Amino acid sequence: QRKMDAYFKSDEWKEAQRKMEASSEYFKSDEWQEALRKMEASGEYFNSDEWKEAQLRLKELDKLSDRLGSEDGLGIVIRNASIGKGAFAGMKVYIDGREASSEEVDRLDPEKIRHMEVLTGKKAVRRYGEQASEGVVEIKTRK
């Protein structure tokens, strides 16, 4: 009992109490309220159209990865996304402004690609018409 009484009178106990009070004050602070707001907003973001569009673009890049890789498994990298063999299902492909056949895409040397952009939805249809409703891949090569 004496040891316990002594502990509750000690500086260690007083410091522990001070820290507990300070932490409980934090949860009432504007900083904590802002953190909560950001956490809630992030949940809303993951249900947003913007997030869904980003996920669709990632899936399209996965599709592209099968098409542009080489036989030895090497491919190109675009913003940390591997690009390799078997994609463009339903998508139109334009190389240097001209619609390309799947054979032309298969023959394309990844080293010659300067820029590549995937257009989806309204943006693709606005630029290329209804035939682009499945999406468009624009490839610009080095001359």
Structural domain range at position 6: 2-45
68 shares its domain with 111 = yes
What the block records as the tokens of 5 is: 């009484």
What the block records as the tokens of 69 is: 């890789």
In angstroms, the Cα distances linking 143 to 2, 19, 42, 115 are 88, 66, 44, 12
113 shares its domain with 66 = yes
d(CA 46, CA 101): 36
pLDDT score recorded for residue 50: 75
41 shares its domain with 53 = no
80 shares its domain with 13 = no
Higher pLDDT, 33 or 94: 94
97 shares its domain with 77 = yes
Overall domain count for the chain:
2
* 68 — pLDDT class (breaks 50, 70, 90): low
Instruction: Identify residue 77 by its one-letter amino acid code.
Output: V
pLDDT score recorded for residue 86: 45
Looking at the chain, the whole-number percentage of residues with pLDDT higher than 70 is 76
Q: What does pLDDT average to over the chain? A: 75
Pinpoint the alpha helices (H) of the chain: 2-9, 11-26, 30-45, 49-68, 102-107, 121-128
11 shares its domain with 31 = yes
- Pick from 8-22, 45-59, 63-77, 83-97: least confident: 63-77
Segment 109-123 shows an average pLDDT of: 86
Instruction: Identify residue 140 by its one-letter amino acid code.
Output: K
69 shares its domain with 127 = yes
**Helix, strand, or coil (residue 65):** helix
Q: What is the pLDDT of residues 23-64, one digit of tens each?
A: 777 777 888 788 777 777 766 766 777 777 777 777 776 666
> Is residue 75 scored above 60 in pLDDT?
no
9 shares its domain with 23 = yes
29 shares its domain with 90 = no
Q: Of 57, 137, 65, 64, nearest to 97 (Cα)?
A: 137
pLDDT score recorded for residue 70: 42
41 shares its domain with 69 = no
83 shares its domain with 16 = no
